[in-house]
Amino acid sequence: MERLRLIRQLRALDEAADDGERARRLNLLERVQRLPHAQADLADAWLRVIPHSVPARLRDAIVAQTAPEPGHAPSCAAVLAYAELHLIAHDPGFGFYWGAWTTTDKASLYAGMFNATTATAEALARGESPSLQVADDVAALVAKGRGVDDGPCFRAALGPELRWAVSHFRQYAVPLAVLTEQRSNVAQAHCSLLDALPGPAGPGTAQRAALVRLHRNLPMPLPEWPA
């Protein structure tokens, strides 16, 4: 398997369109030179950002879906995709969304989100849109976790906030789909679920200012604001 993976890596470099792309691919592939270590490293990146109050069984289920192994005979595309997952998961801002900083009961939030994401993935696999009822349940779950009233104003602000905060996971969905050979993976399903919440794509000026104040003491950078 190691020899085949090396061959795929060399072919991925050889197939680069230009020197700039070749340099980018080389930088990616340097991250996953030792496969057993690389797999543990990717899993650890997830375990670091999932709150410790989330039950171990649920943490393991999340890691199993988000940090898959590259397979026994990965294609050139899969080799590159696996390296891309490492790059995104180790970005300084990756843990921002997963920390659920504004929620007190993180275990309940994660359990509810996991179930909602699973239901959304099943709907997408059937060629259906995310359930509005599931999206409604998510909004109610977040409101309860934050200890705020679940009213129209809260819901109008929640969708833009979560869609902005989940930006790294949205990027993660692309290489994860390549690696797992699934049209709908857990990252795509989760982002589709958040897209079903009401409101514009990203927070407006006033909400941005409020979010900056709310998160100004976090030990990580804020995600880039949507264009």
* Across 72-90, average pLDDT: 79
pLDDT of residue 14: 52
pLDDT of residue 170: 93
Q: Pick the residue with more confidence: 206 or 2?
A: 206
Residue 31 CA to chain centroid, in angstroms?
19
Residue type, 80: L
* Residue bearing tokens 């906030």: 161
User: What is the dihedral sign for C-alpha 18, 19, 24, 30?
Assistant: positive
Residue type, 219: P
pLDDT of residue 76: 73
Which alpha helices (DSSP H) does 67-215 contain, by range? 76-89, 95-98, 106-125, 132-146, 152-165, 167-180, 186-195, 205-214
Q: In the predicted model, is pLDDT for residue 179 greater than 70?
A: yes
| Residue of 93, 197, 56 lying closest to 138 (CA atoms) | 197
DSSP state for residue 30 in the 8-state scheme: G
- Report phi then psi at 196, rounded to 5: -80, -10
Q: Pick the residue with more confidence: 86 or 146?
A: 146
Q: In the predicted model, is pLDDT for residue 13 greater than 80?
A: no
Q: How confident is the model at residue 217 (pLDDT cuts 50, 70, 90)?
A: confident
pLDDT in tens, 21-67: 666 666 666 666 555 677 888 899 999 999 999 999 999 999 999 99
Both tokens of residue 199?
Answer: 């409101």
Q: Pick the residue with more confidence: 75 or 28?
A: 75
Across the chain, what does the average pLDDT equal?
Answer: 84
pLDDT of residue 3: 47
Q: How confident is the model at residue 7 (pLDDT cuts 50, 70, 90)?
A: very low
pLDDT of residue 4: 43
Q: How far apart are CA 178 and CA 173, in angstroms?
A: 9
DSSP state for residue 99 in the 8-state scheme: T
Residue 175 DSSP SS3: helix
Q: Quick one: the chain helix, strand, coil %, rounded to 5?
A: 70, 0, 30
End-to-end CA distance of the chain: 43
Q: How confident is the model at residue 1 (pLDDT cuts 50, 70, 90)?
A: very low
Q: In the predicted model, is pLDDT for residue 138 greater than 90?
A: yes
Distances (CA, A) of 47 to 90, 105, 148: 12, 18, 28
Is residue 22 within 8 Å of 11, Cβ to Cβ? no
* Across 174-185, average pLDDT: 84
Q: In the predicted model, is pLDDT for residue 218 greater than 90?
A: no
Q: In the predicted model, is pLDDT for residue 2 greater than 60?
A: no
Q: In the predicted model, is pLDDT for residue 227 greater than 70?
A: no
- Residue 173: how many CA atoms within 13 Å on its side-chain side? 17
